[in-house]
Amino acid sequence: MIETLIQLLISGAVLGSIYGLIGVGFSVVHTATGAINFAQGEFAVLGAFLAISLTGADLPHFFAVIISPIVLTLFVVLLFRIFLTRVADDALYLVVATIALSLMLKTLLLYFWGREPIGLSSPFQGKTLNIAGLMLGYDQLLIIAGALIAYIFLLFFFSKHPAGKAMKAVVEEKEIAMASGLNPALYQGVAFAFGSLLGAFAGCLVAPVSMLSYNSGGLLGLKGFASAIFAGLDRPERAVFGGIILGVIESLVVLFVPSGFKDVVALIVLLIVLTLKPEGFLSGGRKRLA
């Protein structure tokens, strides 16, 4: 019994790490632009599908998993430079543009990769680590490691790295930041690109563990957003923990309700946070950035 429980906790934490990674993307974009990127879930699926196609073309797994997010990020950078920067200051229009983007991406995913769910076959398929009787797949370990690395990186980025400080400055007082020589559009673009990089990376990590289809992005995005808002949109790195908490709740709930309703749980958490405490539960008294 205890063992099943721990096993459930672990699988919850694994899934939650994915939500967290996607959620971090939401928070980073929100921090810099005040907008929510509704295409974040589609970026995750697109990242996974690109990697699947790359391995299908006989490229090594690791290569595919790294190249795919980079390609996607370059695409997003272009997209931002050409189009989105025009509305970067107007959160509402930026949101509408990302909603439009999600519609288009979903169609493209369907057109190029078909209707059936697909997975990424990783070289670690079936390989597990046995720690005191607990089974942990290498692929699952990678997911948790990915989330932790993202957390540490962001913590460092926002408190120590010049670009992180500059991004915070742009969000806090845009005009003073401009007067200090910062170009807000640059940081908004960087945030957008970084958010999609994380989303695509999360997609690549989850694809070996669970199959994705062209319309998986909606739910993935919503859960990512739930993680982010649970943690507080102004604290990007904490979305990782928001995600892990959400994943654990989700997998424990399966003990009580039919597994088909599992997804409802995350959504209800989202609604509760949105209506009760939209500034988040892990945001810890700090002044809100946006």
Partner 1 sequence: MLGLFKKYKNLKIVLFFSLLLVFAGLFLNNEYYFATASIFVINSLLITSLMMVIGYAGQISLAHGAIYGIGAYTSAILTTKLGAPFLLALLASALAGFLVSLIVGAPSLKLRGHYLAMATLGVGEIIVILFQELDFLTGGVNGFVGIKPAEIFGYSFVNLTEYYALVSVIAVSILAFLAIFVDSKIGRALRAIKSSEIAASSLGLNPSFYKLMVFGLSGAVAGSCGSLYAHLDRFISPSTFSVSFSVMMVAMVIVGGESSFAGSLAAALIFSLLNEYVRQFQELSQFLFGLGLFLVAIYMKGGIGNIGKIFPAKLERVKRSEAS
Partner 2 sequence: MLEIKGLNAYYGHIKAVKDFSLRVKKGEIIAILGPNGAGKTTLIRSIGGFSPPYTEGEIIFNGKNITRLKPFERLGLGIAVLLEGKRVFPGLSVADNLFIGGYTLRRRKKELKENIESVLELFPVLRERLNKRASVLSGGEQQMLAIARALISSPEILCLDEPSFGLGPKVVEAIFKTLDYLRKERGLSIVLVEQDAALALKFSDYSILMVSGSKKIEGRSKELINDKRLLNIYLGG
State which of residues 9, 71, 169, 268 lies at the interface with partner 1 (CB under 8 A): 268
Amino acid code (one letter) for 168:
K
Half-sphere exposure of 153 toward its Cβ, with a 13 Å CA cutoff?
A: 12
Nearer to partner 2, 166 or 226 (CB): 166
Nearer to partner 2, 146 or 184 (CB): 184
Nearer to partner 1, 30 or 140 (CB): 30
Nearer to partner 2, 43 or 158 (CB): 158
163 Cβ contact list (under 8 Å, min separation 6) = 157, 187, 190
Least distance to partner 2, CB of residue 41, Å: 30
> Cα separation of 278 and 271, whole Å?
9
Instruction: Match 């942990």 to its residue by tokens.
Output: 136
State which of residues 10, 24, 50, 101 lies at the interface with partner 1 (CB under 8 A): 101
Site string for partner 1, 173-212 (x = CB under 8 A): ----------------------------------------
Least distance to partner 1, CB of residue 179, Å: 13
> What are the helix and strand counts (H, E) for the chain?
11, 2
139 Cβ contact list (under 8 Å, min separation 6) = 122, 124, 125, 205, 208, 209
Nearer to partner 2, 42 or 234 (CB): 234
149, 34, 247, 276: CA torsion to nearest 10: 140
- List interacting residues with partner 2 (CB under 8 A): 162, 165-166, 168-169, 172-173, 175-183, 286-287, 289
Least distance to partner 1, CB of residue 110, Å: 6
DSSP secondary structure, 179-233, as one string? HTT--HHHHHHHHHHHHHHHHHHHHHHHTTTS-B-TTTHHHHHHHHHHHHHHH-T
The contact set with partner 1 (CB under 8 A) reads: 35-36, 38, 83-84, 86-87, 90-97, 99-104, 106-108, 110-111, 215, 218-219, 222, 225-226, 229, 258, 260-261, 263-264, 267-268, 270-271, 274-275, 278
